[in-house]
């Protein structure tokens, strides 16, 4: 098992990209499901099933990519 300090710049960038993808996927799903109502504005339309399915699939893929990347770079523990 390696420590994060042992990663080179390329490996750190790879891990950072995986975490960034997960953050983006989470925010996209949040925008579809938890958008706050704004006073004086129209209520947002509910998302389509296809949009929700796509957002869920991307979130799952991004989550899996983070775990896979960490396992490859840092070891399984």
How would you write the pLDDT of the chain (77 residues) with one tens digit per residue? 899 999 999 999 999 999 999 999 999 999 999 887 778 877 778 899 999 999 999 999 999 999 999 999 999 75
Q: Which residues contact 5 (CB under 8 A, 6 or more apart)?
A: none
Task: Quote the number of domains for the chain.
Answer: 1
User: Do residues 12 and 69 lie in contact, with contact meaning Cβ atoms separated by under 8 Å?
Assistant: no
What is the structure's pLDDT at 77? 54
Q: Is residue 40 in a domain?
A: no
Show the tokens assigned to 23: 């953050």
Concatenating the DSSP letter of every residue in 2-51 gives --GGG--HHHHHHHHHHHHHHHHHHHHHHHHH-PPP-TTSPPPPPPPHHH
Q: Is residue 2 in a domain?
A: no
Residue 54 sits in which domain range? Answer: 8-31+48-77
What is the structure's pLDDT at 58? 98
Q: Is residue 36 in a domain?
A: no
Show the tokens assigned to 24: 């983006």
């Amino acid at each position: 098992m390696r420590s994060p300090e042992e990663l080179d710049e390329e490996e750190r960038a790879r891990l950072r990209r995986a975490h960034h993808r997960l953050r983006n996927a989470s925010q996209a799903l949040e925008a579809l499901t938890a958008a706050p109502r704004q006073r004086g504005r129209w209520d947002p339309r509910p998302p389509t099933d296809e949009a929700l399915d796509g957002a869920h699939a991307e979130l799952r893929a991004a989550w899996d990519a983070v775990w896979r990347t960490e396992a490859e770079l840092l070891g399984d523990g």
